[in-house]
Structure 1
Amino acid sequence: MKKATLVLGLLASSVGAAYAQSSVTLYGIIDAGARYTTNAGPNAASKGSSLSTLAPGGMSQSRLGINITEDMGGGLKGIANLEHRLLSDTGAVAAADFWRQSWVGIQSSSFGRITLGRQYNVLFDAVTATYASFKYSPYAEIYKPEIGFSLGARNDNMVKYLIEVGGFRAEAQASAGEGGAGKSMGGLLRYAVGEFAVAGAYLDLKDAAGKSVKATTIGGAWTSGPWYLNAGWARNKFEAGFSAVTNATLAGSIVGALNAAAALGEHRDMWSVGGTYQLTPQLNLGAQYWNAKQTGYVAAGNGKGDFFAFVADYAFSKRTDAYLELDHTKISGNLTLANGATKRDGYTVGLRHRF
């Protein structure tokens, strides 16, 4: 009897294992770069000041993450992700939210997937998956003006549904807005065929006072052999009185504070175009141009921005690469940098390892 019970127990455990194969994957990036920036530094009032730093991420923000997948059988999988961002130069936490992603979900081979928690929003998904700035690294972490149009890139308290059929992908997101802030509603459509891919997304996000910002983006890319070309457009339209923290002034995400007279934007538009060329199996060359225009609630907030970046990336192996990044910023109209300057240049040399 004891032997029979033991055999039945072993069979039951083996059947359970067959229908619940789990995998836990630890991944991460460590990136650091030496950077020199003109019209910057501790003396913000001086146009001639400059800043030399060890940047905690030139091409990528350093991170440590965990991916979890459980095969439950019948085409169903349980999935989850935790991802922490850090500053490689000091080891400190990169943001107030320790887990920059923290979600759990279920994925079906027939009906798509649903995820719940803090995760990337549909604006970020559309650009990153379709017409990101650089083929080998979607954004240059040290210089990414387009991220300012993604409304934080991630949203809290989110439920997101994704389905793919052939070359089509659709996403829908909704955030509960717990505590009054962060309520959202949006969607994404993407189509890819052969060498071409196009996508568009819309997101309505509310602040704690119920004020709304409506964001739209659309773009596409062509990939053929060593070539990758992309183009995109984005708009943020702010309701009067919307949170000043999220309504950062034009280019605030990359040039820091602008002149005190710069009012918050009523709306801003950005279009971009660029490409990457794989010169050799190890060497990629990329260039991207962004043009942005802001219309303020008062004339002091009207202005334009021209942004350009060039990157050369050399892969020593599949996991380790070195890069050279050059960028140029020009502000015009009624806007200037905090020190009164209208131009800024940046130069970064760095090393990145992915695991």
Structure 2
Amino acid sequence: MRLSFSKIILIAGVLLGSVSLSAYAQSSVTLYGIVDAGLLYTSKSLNSATGQNAGHQFQMITGGMTPSLFGLKGAEDLGSGVRAIFDLESGIDMSNGGFNDSNGNFFGRKAWVGIASHYGTVKAGLQESPFVASLIATDGRNVSYFGSGAPIYINTVLVTGVFNANAISYTSPTIAGLQGSAMLALGGIAGDFQAGRQYSASLNYTYGPLLVSAAMYSGNAGGTAASTPVPSTVPFSGRTIGASYQFSDLTVKAQYMNLKVAGSFDKRVYSGGLRYQFTPAVGADAGAWYTSDGNDTHNHSILAATGVTYSLSKATLLYAQVGFVDNYGLMDTGLSINGALFGVSGKTFGTAVGIRHLF
């Protein structure tokens, strides 16, 4: 039976379309995000012009417990256990619809593409450092944006290490409980390799409910990332070691963090915390952080906080948090990343209540 030229073209089109559909069926793109809005009260606040106490404050904030953000992530199956992956993520200010909780750019939280396989994962682009990932894993209150190690970190080095531009990283598979990760961020300045250069590495050990994590970070000032709206190349070196252990509904964490900023503080932070899940809907946590300046121990602070969450559904929860910080000398530890990042001398009490939804 002879086929006309038009029928041949039609059959070829159908076959090619089937191949294309089959290829696209192995790819996926997911829209995800967090929206978190709350009310913050602190008994003292910083007057940025004088450095003195400006009195108590009461305000709406974005990200009272976690950052508000949205992103697109995807993967394509390339066969033989190999996948192409990517993630684009932007911070959101829930109070005015602008940018927040990022380096100030549109996709200022993440903008990377990579390859994942049985041999590990390689990523290239704007990404989190292994040092920050280690801090997140063992923080006493899961790096809540209010009353945790997160305000101490951001207060000291802003978003350096959190959002690393021009970065290439490798994360190994887990072998006998051990997993390593390394990152190099290039400064991007011709003729000056050291300007803006950042590198970081971590090693995690997992044994059942136990996690032990250690990491380091080293970064220089300058480079192309220095032009981001929120500085991301503060020159500092960082070290951390921490552990987490889960006893059924109770999780206990302890951590040591050192943030040594060139020409400034040498912060040594000792912390611990716990979380207990009373019911599937109700959980509570508490933690304490002691920060001392290695250059002058008269500069130190004590931060303590506790919080309760109530889940309305798998995606939506209400939270209430109470915190206290006492600053001595030149230490300026604040209670909240958003709204109270820098504190004043003496004792400050604060609370944050709000709602968070995941999508």
**The TM-score by the shorter chain falls in which range?**
0.7 to 0.9
Match of 1:178, SS state, is: coil
Aligned counterpart, 1:260: none
Is 1:163–2:167 an aligned residue pair? no
Which residues in structure 2 correspond to 1:69-108 (within 5 Å)?
Answer: 69-94=75-100, 95-108=103-116
Aligned counterpart, 2:204: 190
Q: What is the alpha-carbon root mean square deviation over aligned residues? A: 2.7
Which residues in structure 2 correspond to 1:141-180 (within 5 Å)?
Answer: 141-143=145-147, 144-148=150-154, 151-166=160-175, 167-179=177-189
Q: 1:88, 1:321 → 2: CA distance?
A: 16
Q: Is the 8 A contact 2:46 2:344 kept in 1?
A: no
Which residues in structure 2 correspond to 1:289-308 (within 5 Å)?
Answer: 289-296=288-295, 302-308=298-304
Match of 2:135, SS state, is: helix
Change (3 A) 1:339 1:285: closer
Match of 1:164, SS state, is: coil
Q: 1:327, 1:339 → 2: CA distance?
A: 13
Change (3 A) 1:320 1:9: same
Q: 1:74, 1:5 → 2: CA distance?
A: 33
Match of 1:98, SS state, is: coil
Q: 1:287, 1:18 → 2: CA distance?
A: 50
Amino acid at match of 1:125: A
Q: 1:89, 1:42 → 2: CA distance?
A: 21
Q: Is the 8 A contact 2:91 2:109 kept in 1?
A: no
Q: How far has the Cα of 1:85 moved from its partner?
A: 0.7
Q: 2:9, 2:348 → 1: CA distance?
A: 76
Amino acid at match of 2:187: G
Q: Is the 8 A contact 2:73 2:88 kept in 1?
A: yes
Return the TM-score normalized by structure 2.
0.82
Aligned counterpart, 2:338: none
Q: 2:84, 2:308 → 1: CA distance?
A: 39
Greater shift in the superposed pair: 212-221 or 335-344:
335-344
Q: Deviation digits for residues 262-284 of structure 1, max 9, x if unmatched? A: xx22x221111000000111001
Aligned counterpart, 2:286: 287
Q: How far has the Cα of 1:16 moved from its partner?
A: 4.8
Q: How far has the Cα of 1:69 moved from its partner?
A: 1.2
Match of 2:109, SS state, is: strand
Aligned counterpart, 1:221: 244
Is 1:319–2:315 an aligned residue pair? yes
Q: How far has the Cα of 1:139 moved from its partner?
A: 2.0
In structure 1, the gaps of 5 or more residues are 241-263
Return the TM-score normalized by structure 1.
0.83
Aligned counterpart, 2:138: 131
Change (3 A) 1:45 1:68: closer
Q: 2:169, 2:343 → 1: CA distance?
A: 43
Q: How far has the Cα of 1:238 moved from its partner?
A: 3.4
Identity of aligned residues (%): 25
Among 255, 266, 273, the alignment partner of 1:232 is 255
Q: How far has the Cα of 1:295 moved from its partner?
A: 3.2
Q: Is the 8 A contact 1:183 1:206 kept in 2?
A: yes
Q: 2:210, 2:198 → 1: CA distance?
A: 30
Q: How far has the Cα of 1:5 moved from its partner?
A: 4.9
Is 1:276–2:275 an aligned residue pair? yes
Q: Is the 8 A contact 2:241 2:256 kept in 1?
A: yes
Aligned counterpart, 2:227: none
Match of 1:202, SS state, is: strand
Q: Is the 8 A contact 1:41 1:51 kept in 2?
A: no
Q: Deviation digits for residues 250-301 of structure 1, max 9, x if unmatched? A: xxxxxxxxxxxxxx22x221111000000111001000111111134xx5x9
Q: How far has the Cα of 1:81 moved from its partner?
A: 1.0
Q: How far has the Cα of 1:19 moved from its partner?
A: 4.6
Q: How far has the Cα of 1:170 moved from its partner?
A: 1.1
Q: 1:316, 1:339 → 2: CA distance?
A: 33
Is 1:328–2:351 an aligned residue pair? no
Aligned counterpart, 2:120: 112
